[in-house]
Amino acid sequence: MNSKIFAIHGGHDCSATFVDKNNQVRIFQLERFTKIKHDNFECDSYTTDIRIEQKKSFLDHIKSQLKEEPKYVLYSYFGNRYYLDILKSKFKESKFIEMGHHTSHCIGAYHQSQFKDALVISLDGGGFDNNHYGITKNPKGVEISYSIVKILDKKVDVLLATNFPGAMNFTPGSYTALVPAISEIDPYKGDKRITEFIKSLLEQSDSNIKLNDSPFWKLRNMAKVCAGKLMGLAAYGKVREEWINSVKLVYLAGPDEVHTPKHIKSLLISFASIIGVRPDQNWFSGQESYDLAATNQYVFEELCWELIQPYIDECDLDVVFSGGCALNVLSNQKIMEYLSKNNRKLFVSPDPGDDGLSYGHVCSIDKTFDDKFSVYCGLDILDREKIPEYYEKYKKDGKVIEL
């Protein structure tokens, strides 16, 4: 890999990819540095001087590990000029290139797969692609929720993306957009602000809905903490046919709409009319919650399969899967079983979420990297140079056992 390339994704699940002094590929996650789950570099709802210093220290530590000064800095999700300036201040001699979201998911996963030819799928909640590989002609980029590309010997051909004419209006990453809000499957259970927000949301006119309510952002971000729980509890429920069409409404919207208060309000009203309850009360508990999780999983699988099956059948290639939705192992199992019947393989990226984006950024530029490596290499020992000092100190105290 080109050691003069440094890549960083600044949004949630922030990560950086580079070649270190030992000529080893490194993928550093900010959350392992700050101890804040899903941490991001680009923005905060609780930015403090301490947090800013943490992020600066993160970059300083990376700089101390680099093999050489980067010629190019590849970045994504630094829309806030303040944080982009911090990044640029650390790499003053580098050329900065803004990278795409789904293209990086796809290309990074492809390089890890070791397949020469593959159909590569990225399904997610939404991400900006900045005119990469013809996904958009908008110079400012466009938010999309999925992309399907064919890669033959590293040559990329984008077959489909959310914004293509006639493409399915579908946001697969909205897996938790509704279920936690109306059931006891709720990581914020007991937080009355969520209940009050839902009640006030239903009372507001569509033109007067506020975006900045912190309970709304909690609702919006439930995907990070609740998706796995929903998938697991689906096994305890049964699909309720009378709920299927309403659950589909959760997914059949674009990524710029699906997580908005207006969309959530329409979903709540739709469910209230179907099940005959007031939309300001605790709707589902016990078995009903599990049935809702099972119905949600069923709809997710059906819509994903409707989207990708024609391309799987037409291309007749091994399949690479990335994006946050590649974490859904139930759906992955069904895709794998279908492929195996046709003597094809499925490779799921080991880091399909946004923490894998920085690696995809590098692979989008450097097409020569084919060596296998562990994505779990992480940070080196932060105080490695002090090990001799620690050894002498703890040996004197009788705390060192030598073999």
pLDDT (tens digit per residue) in 52-70:
888 999 999 999 999 999 9
Tell me whether residue 196 is in a domain: no
- Check residue 102 and give its pLDDT: 92
Tell me whether residue 282 is in a domain: no
How many other C-beta atoms can be found within 10 angstroms of the C-beta atom of residue 9? Answer: 32
Tell me whether residue 214 is in a domain: no
Question: How much is the pTM?
Answer: 0.84
How many other C-beta atoms can be found within 10 angstroms of the C-beta atom of residue 94? Answer: 18
Tell me whether residue 51 is in a domain: yes
- Number of domains observed in the structure of the chain: 1
Relative to beta strand 5-9, strand 15-19 is: antiparallel
The residue count for the chain: 403
Tell me whether residue 379 is in a domain: yes
Tell me whether residue 35 is in a domain: yes
Tokens of 146: 């999925």
Relative to beta strand 15-19, strand 25-29 is: antiparallel
Report the CATH number at residue 383.
Answer: 3.30.420
How are the residues of the chain apportioned to helix, strand and coil, as percentages rounded to the nearest 5? Answer: 45, 15, 40
Quickly tell me which residue has 């957009």 as its tokens: 177
Tell me whether residue 332 is in a domain: no
Tell me whether residue 26 is in a domain: yes
CA neighbor of 296 nearest in space, from 227, 202, 347: 227
Q: What backbone phi and psi angles, to 5 degrees, belong to 248?
A: -60, -30
Residue 16 scores a pLDDT above 80? yes
Q: Left (φ > 0), alpha (ψ -120 to 50) or beta: where does 391 sit?
A: alpha
- The whole-chain average pLDDT of the chain stands at 85
pLDDT bin (cut points 50, 70, 90) of residue 194 is: low
Task: Note the pLDDT tens digit of each residue in 279-301.
Answer: 556 677 889 889 999 999 999 99
Residue with the larger pLDDT of the pair 322 and 208: 322
Range of the domain at 88: 5-98+373-388
Q: What percent of the chain clears pLDDT 90, i.e. is strictly above it?
A: 46
